């Protein structure tokens, strides 16, 4: 059996010291100071010999796992989370792609952390970080989970970042500017002559995560003198309710009922692109045309390009939020305790983009 190649063999072929070879292959602290030519020589030597760094030895030596946890707290019932018809994961994939893009140049990996029957995802992530099984954690949307927020705020000595946490917190947070996004959309409708608009959104009569966007929508409409009518759909409660076909059908049914009654709105704003698909179906099934009879907009820009006509929407820049979170995490890890302390109470704001397509008709006088 051929002898397993050693780090010293890689260093000899590359013409560098064992220390330099280790820094290159393990993305050590001095990695950024090593020339690209040197990195290439070491990498090629390792590939030539078939050398693979020993993960466990590296972890013991450096005290780092080179792994970040993405904490996903979707619900309390693990049986529902295991159901193949669970909530859409497109959002999470975009977030994860952005984070991993930021981590890869530093040799870091991203691992998803889900709840177990015994513990919440947040608790599992904190335990994993404190026990050195991961180096830090990024958590999504904790507003509805006060216990999770409390656990995180009690663990500020470890690298933790929150994404889209709109409630006050001392945890470093990356936010999307919801008000700016909804304002851009309403301004676009206003400029195209629309003054009476139907808002299709999950029922917000009880406090939930959908309230904030609706609050911003009402503020923006009032500032421009637009009239708003509501078309609430059944509020999603369990993970399977967020599954795309279920959301689409719920929106279709609500919009179909509304179209059986007289109306004077000229445009429909859907809370998301997902709901806009259901609204689109109801409008076309009623024999109406978009945008000739009714204009339609979405939000999040997830599926706008796949609709006919293409849907005017707001780019939520989900990938960019993940990318920024990954960059902030690397700053915390590279800067140690000082950086972790300095990042507390900081907020990064991701600005929206209006995606103007074909689903809005200009009905201004003279057009």
pLDDT of residue 206: 60
pLDDT band at 359 (very low <50, low <70, confident <90, very high): very high
pLDDT of residue 84: 39
Concatenate the DSSP letters of all residues of 74-133 into one string: --S-HHHHTSTT----HHHHHHHHHHHHHHGGGT-EEEEE---SSS-HHHHHHHHHHTTS
The predicted-structure confidence for 135-166, as pLDDT tens digits, reads as follows 999 988 654 556 666 777 777 778 889 888 77
pLDDT of residue 336: 82
Give the CA distances from residue 13 to residues 6, 25, 35, 159, 288, in Å, rounded to whole numbers and listed in that order.
Answer: 11, 14, 17, 38, 71
The predicted-structure confidence for 236-274, as pLDDT tens digits, reads as follows 666 666 667 888 999 999 999 999 999 999 999 999 999
Residue 210 has pLDDT above 80, yes or no: no
The predicted-structure confidence for 325-341, as pLDDT tens digits, reads as follows 999 999 998 888 888 88
pLDDT of residue 58: 61
Integer Cα distance of 344 and 53 in angstroms: 34
Place of tokens 């949307």: 141
Closest Cα partner for 94 from 329, 327, 301, 247?
301
The predicted-structure confidence for 11-36, as pLDDT tens digits, reads as follows 888 898 888 888 887 776 677 788 88
Average pLDDT, rounded, for the chain: 84
pLDDT band at 312 (very low <50, low <70, confident <90, very high): very high
For residues 294 and 300, the answer to whether their CB atoms sit within 8 Å is no
Question: What are the φ/ψ torsions at residue 349 (nearest 5 degrees)?
Answer: -105, 125
Residue 50 has pLDDT above 90, yes or no: no
Top-level CATH class of 7-62?
mainly alpha
Structural domain boundaries in the chain: 7-62, 67-171+319-351, 178-316
Alpha helices, DSSP H, located in the chain? 7-14, 18-26, 36-49, 55-62, 78-81, 90-103, 121-130, 146-153, 178-191, 211-224, 244-258, 273-285, 318-342
Superfamily grouping for domain 178-316: Response regulator (3.40.50.2300)
pLDDT of residue 93: 86
The predicted-structure confidence for 59-101, as pLDDT tens digits, reads as follows 555 667 789 999 887 554 444 444 434 445 678 888 999 999 9
Domain range 67-171+319-351, its CATH number among 3.20.20.70, 3.40.50.2300, 3.40.50.1980, 3.30.1330.20: 3.40.50.2300
pLDDT of residue 213: 86
pLDDT of residue 1: 36
Whether the domain at 67-171+319-351 and the domain at 178-316 fall into the same CATH topology: yes
pLDDT of residue 261: 94
Is this structure's pTM higher than 0.95?
no
Residue 122 has pLDDT above 90, yes or no: no
Q: Which element (helix H / strand E) includes 243? A: none
CB atoms within 10 A of CB 9: 18
Integer Cα distance of 312 and 301 in angstroms: 8
CB atoms within 10 A of CB 367: 8
Contacts of residue 169, defined as CB under 8 A and 6 or more positions apart, other chains included, come to: 142, 149, 152, 153, 162
């Amino acid at each position: 059996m051929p002898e397993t190649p050693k780090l010293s063999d890689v260093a000899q072929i590359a013409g560098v010291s064992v220390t330099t070879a280790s820094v290159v292959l393990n993305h050590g602290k001095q990695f950024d100071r090593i020339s690209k030519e040197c990195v290439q020589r070491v990498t090629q030597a390792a590939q030539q010999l078939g050398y693979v760094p020993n993960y466990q030895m590296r972890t013991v030596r450096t005290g780092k796992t080179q792994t970040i946890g993405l904490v996903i707290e979707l619900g309390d019932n693990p049986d529902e989370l295991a159901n193949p018809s669970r909530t859409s994961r497109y959002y999470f994939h975009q977030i994860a792609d952005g984070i991993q893009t930021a981590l890869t140049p530093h040799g870091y990996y991203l691992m998803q952390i889900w709840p177990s029957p015994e513990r919440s995802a947040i608790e599992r992530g904190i335990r994993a970080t404190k026990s050195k099984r991961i180096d830090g954690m990024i958590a999504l949307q904790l507003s509805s989970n006060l216990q999770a927020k409390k656990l995180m705020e009690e663990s500020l000595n470890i690298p933790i970042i929150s994404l889209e946490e709109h409630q006050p917190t001392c945890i470093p947070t990356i936010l999307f500017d919801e008000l700016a996004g909804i304002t851009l959309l309403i301004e676009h409708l206003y400029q195209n002559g629309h003054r009476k608009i139907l808002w299709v959104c999950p029922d917000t009569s009880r406090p939930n995560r959908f309230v904030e966007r609706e609050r911003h929508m009402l503020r923006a409409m009032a500032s421009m003198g637009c009239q708003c009518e509501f078309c609430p759909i059944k509020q999603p409660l369990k993970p399977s309710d967020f599954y795309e076909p279920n959301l689409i059908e719920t929106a279709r049914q609500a919009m179909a009922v509304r179209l059986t009654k007289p109306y004077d709105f000229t445009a429909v704003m859907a809370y998301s692109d997902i709901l806009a698909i259901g609204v689109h179906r109801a409008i076309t099934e009623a024999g109406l045309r978009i945008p000739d009879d009714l204009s339609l907009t979405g939000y999040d820009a997830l599926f706008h390009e796949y609709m006919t006509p293409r849907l005017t929407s707001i780019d939520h820049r989900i990938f960019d939020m993940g990318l920024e979170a990954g960059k902030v995490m690397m700053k915390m890890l590279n800067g140690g305790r000082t950086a972790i302390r300095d990042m507390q109470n900081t907020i990064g704001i991701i600005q929206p983009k209006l995606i103007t397509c074909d689903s809005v008709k200009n009905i201004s006088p003279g057009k």
